[in-house]
C-alpha cells in the first residue's frame, strides 16, 4: 500500500507567501551573489527527513538533490543526528592538530578501511576545495613540478587554489588573471576523441613541468559525464610512466553514490590521491584527502606548527557525523542499494527519450543526468531544462540543472529514497516534459 505521507503535497503557490516574505528580508542582509532570489524558485526550507523536504509554508517535496549530494544517508538521519548531539555535549571543538579528539581517530580508521589499498593515510579539511588544495600541495611536494592537467567541465571548488583547477568558464574567467598559469585545461575526453587527447596529454607532459593530473571519474557540476574505463586506465599508465600524481576528485561522486564507495572503482584503477567531501558527513563541513602512507610522507613531520592546518580541521562534531555516516551507509547497504536503484531507474528514464527534448540519459547508481535538447538535432537547451526544473518544483520535486550548458537535469537523491518516491518523481518530471513539449 502506497504511503502518501512521503510523496509531494503542495498547499500553496510555489514559492509560498512565507518563503516570499523571507526572501525579501534576505535581500537586505546577504550579498545578492550568494543565493538565487526570484519569483519562481526560491523556497525556504523548514525541515527535512529522509528524501523529503518541507518549506516554511508547509509544502512537502521529494528532494532529488540530496542538498548537493550531501545527504547520502538521508536528511536528518537518526544515527548521524545522535552522533552530532552526543559529541556536542562532550565538547564541540578542540585544538585538533595538537590535542586530537578520540572520535577523530575512530573516524580516520573507518574512512581508511573503506578505501582500496594502498590508500590509507588521510589529511582532513573543512570543505571540498580545501581537500583539493591539499591534494595539489601533496603532488607538488612529491614531484617538485607545478603543472596541473584538468579537463573541461570539471568542478573542484571556488577558493583560489581549487579555482585554478575548476574548468567551468563562468567560475574562473572573472579571476583568471590572478590564477596560476601552471594549469592546463584540456577538452573533455569524449569517447571518439580519447586517442587524440591521450596523445595531446603525452606531448604536454614532454613539453611542460607536469606534476599531477586531476580528474572526476564522473563529473558532477559538469553534467554527470563519466570518463570511460579505457581512458582512465590509459591515464593511469601515462601517470605511472612519467611519475605523475593522479588525483581523483570524489567530492560529488563518492561515499556510495554511484554504486561503489568511489566512482573510480568502476574502472579498476587506483589513483594516487582521492578527495572526498559532501556526502562524507551527511551535513557538516568536513573533507579529506587520502593517499598512500608512502606518498603522504612527503609532508614534513609536525614540530609545533603543521605545514597545512586550519582552526576547524578535524572538527569533533564533523568527525562524529562522518563516522556515523560511514556506519549507516554500511549498515543499510546503501552502496549496493544505489547500484540496484540506478540499474532500475535508467531504463525508466530512457523511455522519456520518446520526447523530442530528451537527449542522452547517463550516469551510474544514483548519480544520473537527463540531457535536455532543443529537438533531436542535439542542440543543448538550458532554457527548457530550467523550465522543467521550475515546473517540477511547483509540483513538489526539487531538481537542479547542471552541465557546461546548464541543460542537464541532475538526479542525485538521498540513497535512502524509496522506490515509490523515485517513481512518483519520475512521473512528475515526465508531466513537466510533456507540458514543455506542448508549448
Q: For the chain, give every domain's residue range.
A: 4-63+335-438, 78-331
| 373-414 tens-digit pLDDT | 998 777 899 999 999 999 999 999 999 999 999 999 999 999
Q: What average pLDDT does the structure give for the chain?
A: 96
Those residues with Cβ within 8 angstroms of residue 404's Cβ, 6 or more apart along the chain or in another chain: 152, 153, 168, 222, 223
- Looking at residue 203, its pLDDT comes to 98
- Looking at residue 66, its pLDDT comes to 98
- Looking at residue 37, its pLDDT comes to 61
Task: Round to whole Å and give the CA distance between 318 and 282.
Answer: 9
| 221-262 tens-digit pLDDT | 999 999 999 999 999 999 999 999 999 999 999 999 999 999
> In the predicted model, what is the mean pLDDT of residues 85-105?
94
pLDDT band, very low/low/confident/very high, at 305 (cuts 50, 70, 90): confident
Task: Round to whole Å and give the CA distance between 423 and 305.
Answer: 53
Task: Round to whole Å and give the CA distance between 144 and 146.
Answer: 7
41 or 309: which leads in pLDDT:
309
> In the predicted model, what is the mean pLDDT of residues 324-345?
99
Residue with cell 557525523: 321
| 104-162 tens-digit pLDDT | 999 999 999 999 999 999 999 999 999 999 999 999 999 999 999 999 999 999 999 99
Quick count: other Cβ atoms within 10 Å of Cβ 29? 6
15 or 4: which leads in pLDDT:
15
pLDDT > 90: percent of the chain: 90
Residue 34 has pLDDT above 90, yes or no: no
Backbone angles phi, psi at 36, to 5 degrees: -80, 110
Residue 349 has pLDDT above 60, yes or no: yes
pLDDT band, very low/low/confident/very high, at 96 (cuts 50, 70, 90): confident
- Looking at residue 160, its pLDDT comes to 95
326 or 99: which leads in pLDDT:
326
Task: Round to whole Å and give the CA distance between 88 and 85.
Answer: 5
Quick count: other Cβ atoms within 10 Å of Cβ 150? 22
**Cell triple for 51:** 528524501
Nearest residue to 194 (alpha-carbon basis) of 232, 165, 156: 232
- Enter the pTM of the model: 0.96
> In the predicted model, what is the mean pLDDT of residues 265-275?
98
Pick the CATH number of 78-331 from 3.40.1710.10, 3.40.640.10, 3.30.450.20, 3.40.50.620: 3.40.640.10
Strand-pairing partners, residue 215, are: 248
Residue 328 has pLDDT above 90, yes or no: yes
Pick the range with the lowest mean pLDDT from 22-26, 146-150, 413-417.
22-26
pLDDT > 70: percent of the chain: 99
> In the predicted model, what is the mean pLDDT of residues 169-198?
95
Backbone angles phi, psi at 407, to 5 degrees: -120, 20
Q: Are 156 and 120 in contact (CB under 8 A)?
A: no
Domain 4-63+335-438 fold is: 3.90.1150
- Looking at residue 4, its pLDDT comes to 78
| 46-71 tens-digit pLDDT | 999 999 999 999 999 999 999 999 99
- Looking at residue 39, its pLDDT comes to 64
- Looking at residue 306, its pLDDT comes to 86
Residue with cell 610512466: 241
- Looking at residue 202, its pLDDT comes to 98
- Looking at residue 38, its pLDDT comes to 66
- Looking at residue 386, its pLDDT comes to 96
Q: Are 97 and 91 in contact (CB under 8 A)?
A: no
Helix (H) or strand (E) segment spanning residue 236 = helix 229-242
Residue 303 has pLDDT above 80, yes or no: no
Alpha helices in 261-380 (DSSP H): 293-296, 316-331, 334-350
Amino acid at each position: 500500500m502506497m504511503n502518501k505521507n512521503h510523496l509531494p503535497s503542495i498547499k500553496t503557490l510555489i514559492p509560498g507567501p512565507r518563503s516570499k516574505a523571507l526572501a525579501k528580508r534576505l535581500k537586505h542582509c546577504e550579498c545578492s551573489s550568494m543565493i538565487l532570489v526570484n519569483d519562481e524558485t526560491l523556497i525556504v526550507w523548514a525541515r527535512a527527513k529522509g528524501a523529503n523536504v518541507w518549506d516554511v509554508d508547509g509544502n512537502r517535496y521529494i528532494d532529488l538533490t540530496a542538498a548537493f549530494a550531501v545527504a547520502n544517508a538521508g536528511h536528518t538521519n537518526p544515527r548521524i543526528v545522535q552522533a552530532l548531539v552526543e559529541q556536542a555535549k562532550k565538547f564541540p571543538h578542540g585544538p585538533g592538530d595538537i590535542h586530537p579528539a578520540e572520535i577523530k581517530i575512530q573516524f580516520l580508521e573507518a574512512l581508511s578501511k573503506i578505501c582500496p589499498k594502498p590508500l590509507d593515510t588521510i589529511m582532513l579539511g573543512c570543505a571540498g576545495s580545501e581537500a583539493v588544495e591539499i591534494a595539489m600541495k601533496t603532488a607538488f611536494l612529491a614531484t617538485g613540478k607545478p603543472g596541473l592537467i584538468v579537463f573541461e567541465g570539471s568542478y573542484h571548488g571556488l577558493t583560489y587554489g581549487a579555482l585554478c583547477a575548476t574548468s567551468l568558464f563562468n567560475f574562473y574567467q572573472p579571476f583568471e588573471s590572478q590564477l596560476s598559469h601552471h594549469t592546463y585545461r584540456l577538452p573533455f575526453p569524449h569517447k571518439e576523441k580519447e586517442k587524440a587527447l591521450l596523445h595531446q596529454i603525452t606531448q604536454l607532459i614532454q613539453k611542460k613541468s607536469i606534476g599531477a593530473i586531476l580528474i572526476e571519474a564522473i563529473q558532477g557540476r559538469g553534467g554527470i559525464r563519466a570518463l570511460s574505463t579505457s581512458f582512465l586506465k590509459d591515464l593511469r599508465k601515462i601517470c605511472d610512466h612519467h611519475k605523475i600524481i593522479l588525483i581523483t576528485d570524489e567530492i560529488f561522486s563518492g561515499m556510495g553514490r554511484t554504486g561503489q564507495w568511489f566512482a573510480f572503482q568502476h574502472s579498476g584503477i587506483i589513483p594516487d590521491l582521492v578527495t572526498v567531501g559532501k556526502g562524507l558527513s551527511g551535513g557538516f563541513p568536513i573533507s579529506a584527502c587520502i593517499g598512500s602512507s608512502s606518498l603522504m610522507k612527503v609532508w614534513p613531520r609536525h614540530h609545533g606548527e603543521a605545514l597545512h592546518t586550519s582552526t576547524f580541521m578535524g572538527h569533533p562534531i564533523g568527525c562524529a557525523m562522518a563516522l556515523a555516516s560511514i556506519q549507516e551507509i554500511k549498515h543499510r547497504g546503501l552502496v549496493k542499494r544505489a547500484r540496484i536503484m540506478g540499474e532500475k531507474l535508467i531504463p525508466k528514464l530512457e523511455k522519456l527519450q520518446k520526447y523530442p527534448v530528451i537527449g542522452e540519459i547517463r550516469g551510474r547508481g544514483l548519480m544520473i543526468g537527463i540531457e535536455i535538447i532543443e529537438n533531436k538535432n542535439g542542440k543543448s537547451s538550458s532554457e527548457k531544462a530550467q523550465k522543467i526544473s521550475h515546473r517540477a518544483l511547483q509540483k513538489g520535486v526539487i531538481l537542479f540543472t547542471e552541465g557546461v550548458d546548464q541543460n542537464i537535469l541532475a538526479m542525485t537523491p538521498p540513497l535512502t529514497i524509496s522506490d515509490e518516491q523515485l517513481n512518483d518523481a519520475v512521473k512528475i518530471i515526465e508531466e513537466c516534459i510533456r507540458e514543455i513539449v506542448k508549448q
